[in-house]
Amino acid sequence: MLRLYDDPISGNGYKVRLLLAHLGRRYDYRRVDIVTGETRTPDFLRRNPNGRIPVLEFEDGRCLAESNAILWYLAEDSDFAPGDRWTRAQTLQWMFFEQYSHEPYIAVLRFWAHLGDQLPPAQAAQVPERQAKGYQALDVMERHLDATPFLVGENFGVADIALYAYTHVAHEGGFDLSGYPAVRAWLSRVMEQPGHIAMNELPKASAVSAAE
Ligand SMILES: N[C@@H](CCC(=O)N[C@@H](CS)C(=O)NCC(=O)O)C(=O)O
């Protein structure tokens, strides 16, 4: 059975849980605490030398890191994968946008907000700039989603999953989505997809175990 190493607080991990739910796949869930450094133990670093969740482990021991690479792998040959060359390229365009222009601002500010008073001053000083760049990413999405129901044309797919994960909790990092009606309508469309699970929905207790 597939095994997912993840922390429930992580939007990157949620992307993978959300796609696995849509695909109806069972998997073993291993919780790894990112705040206490469980991603940096020798045991975990053997699975991902980059010391980060999510990591998908296969029965033969191979491990795949990077949330969007995992989405791409799992979606292949499913309804969530883009069909032709152009939609594949557009999907990758949005997934790279997510990693370079969205996640470093919207996800990181959410994580920093969770740290509260523990946030080091050097990082607190970066908040205004990261907030401005996060709003720039939302502006890009708003303009695009004003003209199309999903990020890549008419069909819900892995680009939507990749960007939904942190956009729907952007408010937790201090972002106000009230000025983004097209983004909010898209968030609702994603939530309405059959098979959708919320971020705090973990696989059944029997499939959940603590990291070894
Ligand atoms: N680009 C990676 C980012 C992964 C990442 O930043 N993971 C965070 C949680 S969201 C993590 O494991 N942090 C723990 C650490 O850095 O030790 C992806 O998309 O999977």
**Bridge-based pairing state of the strands 208-210 and 3-6:** unpaired
Q: Is the pLDDT of residue 211 over 50?
A: no
> Of 6, 14, 52, 105, which is best to mutate to test ligand 1, by the most ligand atoms within 8 angstroms of its C-beta?
52
> Of 7, 10, 12, 45, which is best to mutate to test ligand 1, by the most ligand atoms within 8 angstroms of its C-beta?
12
The CA distance from 26 to 3, in Å, is 9
pLDDT at position 10 is 97
Q: Per residue in 61-119, pLDDT tens?
A: 999 999 999 999 999 999 999 999 999 999 999 999 999 999 999 999 999 999 999 99
pLDDT at position 203 is 85
CA dihedral 157, 162, 165, 171 (to 10 degrees): -110
Residue 52 near residue 65 (C-beta atoms within 8 A):
yes
The CA distance from 31 to 208, in Å, is 7
| Average pLDDT value over all residues in the chain | 95
The CA distance from 90 to 71, in Å, is 15
- If you take atom 13 of ligand 1, which residue's CA is the nearest one? 52
Q: Is the pLDDT of residue 212 over 60?
A: no
